[in-house]
C-alpha cells in the first residue's frame, strides 16, 4: 500500500465449516485514506543534523528501548526507567514497538538532558519536540507525555505536554509553561487513537519567545512571551511528579531548532523533516 490512496475493506462472518453469511456488506462499506504510513509504517530515516534526542522505544530483546538513537548527539542522554509500569507494546509503525505507560507511577527520565548541556534548549534558544501519542481513557488532568522539571524547578520555566482538561472534554492535550496561566491547548482527542504532537520554541526578539503547538501537522495554538526552562527530561509524568501518562508514547524526538509550519507538516507525514 502507498500513501494518499483509497483502500476498501470488507469484513464478513464465516461458520467453522466454511459457510458464509447471507448478508454481505457493500464493497465500499468502509473506506480509509492513508497517509504515508499505510498500515503503520515503515519509518523513514531521520538524518536531520539538528536531531539531538530520539527514543524509538523499540525493544529488540536486549532491553535497550530507552536508548537515545539520535546519530548526531554528543553524549548519550539515555533514559532511566523509574517504577515498573513501562512496557513495550505494539506501535502504529510496522515492525516496531512503542512504550506503554499505564498511570501506575512508571516513567522515564534523563537528568543530563538540560539547557546547560544543550544550550539551544534554554529560554533564549530555539528547539522543537515531536512525539506520537495514543491516549487511553480515564487519565487525570495534567497527566503528561513529557515534562522538563520537577516541583523544585517549576518556577524556573519547567514545562510539560499534558492533558489540559477534565470533564466534559477529558482528552484535550496541550502545553503548560512556567505556570498554569501560560497554556497552549489543542483539540479534544479520541481515546485509543494515534496523534502526532509538536511543540516549537522560537525567538521573536521582543520577550521570552513564541511557543507554538501542532497536532497532526496543523497549528492549533501559539503564544508570545512563552517562558521555558529545560532542567531535565521526564517522559510519562508531569513537572510536579504527579499525574502519570496513560497510553502509548512513540518516536519521541527533540531538535535544536524551531521548526516552521512546513517542517512540522513534513515530520508528521514522513516522520523526518
Over residues 158-197, the pLDDT tens digits come to: 898 988 887 777 788 898 886 666 889 999 888 888 999 9
Half-sphere exposure of residue 124: CA atoms within 13 angstroms, side-chain side: 2
**C-alpha span between 271 and 273 (Å, rounded):** 7
User: Could you tell me which residue, 220 or 64, shows the higher pLDDT?
Assistant: 220
Determine the pLDDT at residue 25: 45
CATH number of 41-270: 2.60.120.200
Determine the pLDDT at residue 172: 87
Mean pLDDT, the chain, integer: 82
What average pLDDT score do residues 53-67 get? Answer: 81
Determine the pLDDT at residue 33: 35
Pick the range with the lowest mean pLDDT from 14-18, 120-124, 163-167: 14-18
Peptide bond into 42 cis (omega under 30): yes
Give the Å distances, CA to CA, from 76 to 38, 51, 85, 112. Answer: 32, 13, 23, 9
Residues in the chain: 273
User: Could you tell me which residue, 46 or 41, shows the higher pLDDT?
Assistant: 46
What average pLDDT score do residues 238-242 get? Answer: 76
Q: Does the predicted model carry a pTM greater than 0.85?
A: no
Determine the pLDDT at residue 273: 60
Contacts by 137-140, CB closer than 8 A, 24 or more apart: 137/170, 137/191, 137/192, 137/246, 138/103, 138/246, 139/103, 139/163, 139/170, 139/171, 139/243, 139/245, 139/246, 139/247, 140/103, 140/166, 140/243
First to last CA, the chain: 22
Pick the range with the lowest mean pLDDT from 62-71, 162-171, 193-202, 253-262: 162-171
Pick the range with the lowest mean pLDDT from 58-62, 224-228, 267-271: 58-62
pLDDT reading at 55 higher than 50 = yes
What average pLDDT score do residues 13-36 get? Answer: 47
Main-chain dihedrals φ then ψ at residue 82, nearest 5 degrees: -125, 125
pLDDT reading at 34 higher than 50 = no
Q: pLDDT band for position 139 (50/70/90)? A: confident
Amino acid at each position: 500500500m502507498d500513501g494518499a490512496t483509497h483502500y476498501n475493506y470488507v469484513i464478513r462472518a464465516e461458520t467453522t465449516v466454511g459457510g458464509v453469511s447471507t448478508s454481505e456488506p457493500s464493497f465500499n462499506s468502509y473506506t480509509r485514506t492513508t497517509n504515508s504510513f499505510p498500515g503503520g509504517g515503515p519509518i523513514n530515516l531521520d538524518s536531520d543534523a539538528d536531531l539531538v534526542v530520539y527514543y524509538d522505544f523499540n525493544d529488540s530483546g536486549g532491553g535497550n528501548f530507552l536508548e537515545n538513537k539520535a546519530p548526531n548527539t554528543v553524549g548519550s542522554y539515555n533514559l532511566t526507567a523509574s517504577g515498573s509500569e513501562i512496557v513495550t507494546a505494539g506501535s502504529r509503525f510496522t515492525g516496531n514497538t512503542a512504550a506503554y505507560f499505564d498511570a501506575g507511577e512508571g516513567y522515564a527520565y534523563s537528568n543530563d538532558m538540560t539547557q546547560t548541556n544543550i544550550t539551544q534548549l534554554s529560554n533564549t534558544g530555539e528547539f522543537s519536540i515531536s512525539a506520537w501519542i495514543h491516549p487511553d481513557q480515564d487519565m487525570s488532568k495534567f497527566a503528561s507525555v513529557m515534562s522538563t522539571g520537577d516541583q523544585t524547578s517549576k518556577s524556573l520555566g519547567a514545562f510539560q505536554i499534558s492533558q489540559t482538561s477534565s470533564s466534559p472534554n477529558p482528552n484535550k492535550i496541550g502545553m503548560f509553561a512556567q505556570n498554569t496561566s501560560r497554556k497552549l491547548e489543542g483539540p479534544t482527542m479520541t481515546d485509543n487513537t494515534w496523534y502526532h504532537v509538536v511543540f516549537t520554541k522560537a525567538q521573536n526578539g521582543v520577550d521570552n519567545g513564541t511557543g507554538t503547538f501542532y497536532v497532526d501537522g496543523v497549528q492549533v495554538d501559539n503564544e508570545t512571551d512563552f517562558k521555558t526552562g529545560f532542567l531535565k527530561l521526564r517522559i510519562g509524568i508531569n513537572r510536579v511528579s504527579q499525574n502519570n501518562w496513560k497510553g502509548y508514547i512513540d518516536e519521541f524526538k527533540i531538535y535544536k531548532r524551531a521548526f516552521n509550519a512546513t517542517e512540522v507538516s513534513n515530520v508528521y507525514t514522513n516522520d523526518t523533516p
